[in-house]
A = this chain, B = another copy of it.
Amino acid sequence: MTTQPVDFRSDNTASVAPSIMEAIVAANRGTAPSYGNDETTRAVDRRLSDLFETEVRVFPVATGTAANAIALSAMTRPWGGIYCHETAHIQTSECGAFEAQSGGAKLQLLPGAQYRITADRLAKAIADAGVGQPHKPQPAGVSVTQATDLGTVYRLDELAAIGEVARANRLKMHMDGARFANALDTLGCTPAEMTWKIGVDVLSFGATKNGCMSCDAIVAFDPGIAHELVFRLRRAGHVWSKMRFASAQLLAYVEDGLYLQLAARANGLARRLSEGLAALPGVKLHVPVEANEVFVEMPDAVITRLEAERFLFARRGPKLIRLVCRHDGTEAEVDQMLAATRRLLPLAANVTALP
């Protein structure tokens, strides 16, 4: 039985990566112009333009919800519709932030296997949307979550097909990259290949879940969106006066590929965990594990026992739990979880067998 809790609750419970913390401390020297007019912030634009192999504008923001809601609102007028998967974080878990920031635009929900939308569904939805009809929200954009909230990852050709439909219908394309680095690690492609090369106009570049302290970023490939963001962010209170401390985090985050190393570690732990669990009788992966999240079904009695033994995770259904692996997780924790599950499964079977 464990005595210290083993934590698979979320990547949001993680610590700050050491070199990122060092960069914050190092940025604390002398004075610097405020509101992003400092040298560190300018360096972020240059550094991420290098990383993405094209000129980008980077806007550090406090949260992923801010990144999503404000990036999306810069893609649409208030009477527009943004297509997304019916399980997208922007629909399920942000309290209507997009609707608030966009002045009441609409999310248009699409179904899709393994929590991914498809180009075909998108094309059909646009065809049926009533373009030009005053009674209907006008198709304005599409948002893909990469990796998805269920831990699956779009293939590049799937993204490219969606991007093509978007472009053909003059929709803008957004990527919710709360777990951008995790997806990148899985696909083994470049940031450019997973974004503007397949049609992404604006990216929520996740950083907090993967080792930063208090910032994510909007990366704008489209200059028109970038222009709007300047004012939209100011009105949402998302322009830090001491921006240098956010920018320092972002610089350290991508320095020498740190962001990829951190994601690879989390992904590797998830792989180890999911493979171990899948091998157990009575345990079933809910969805393929392609990033750092493991959704797994097991007997309720086992779940309850694991909780009692201070394993921390989220329930997502009567027999469904979510386990998230972090950049600062350990193989020992994974193995503890595996051992406990293995140990508890037979007991649970007995419990179930009782009259």
Question: Using a CB–CB distance below 8 Å, which chain A residues touch chain B?
Answer: 7, 9-10, 12-16, 21, 24-25, 28-35, 61-70, 77-79, 93-106, 134-138, 208-209, 213-215, 228, 230-242, 245-246, 326, 328
Give the nearest-CB partner of A67 in chain B. B237
Is B69 within 8 A of A96, CB to CB?
no
**In the docked arrangement, what's the CA distance between A78 and B231, Å?**
9
Contacts A64-B237, A95-B235 given; 16 further ones with Cβ under 8 A?
A16-B245, A21-B28, A31-B326, A31-B328, A35-B134, A66-B236, A77-B228, A78-B99, A78-B100, A79-B100, A96-B104, A100-B103, A100-B235, A134-B239, A208-B240, A208-B242
Is B35 within 8 A of A15, CB to CB?
no
Query: What residues of chain B lie closer than 8 Å to A242, measured between beta carbons?
Result: 12, 14, 16, 208, 213-214
Give the dominant DSSP class at A's interface.
loop
Is B236 within 8 A of A214, CB to CB?
no
Query: What residues of chain B lie closer than 8 Å to A103, measured between beta carbons?
Result: 78, 100, 103-104
Is B9 within 8 A of A28, CB to CB?
no
Is B95 within 8 A of A137, CB to CB?
yes
Query: What residues of chain B lie closer than 8 Å to A63, measured between beta carbons?
Result: 237-241
Copies of this chain, how many? 4
**In the docked arrangement, what's the CA distance between A79 and B135, Å?**
24
Q: Which of B13, B61, B99 contacts A104 (CB 8 A)?
A: B99
Give the nearest-CB partner of A107 in chain B. B106
Query: What residues of chain B lie closer than 8 Å to A213, measured between beta carbons?
Result: 24, 28, 242, 245
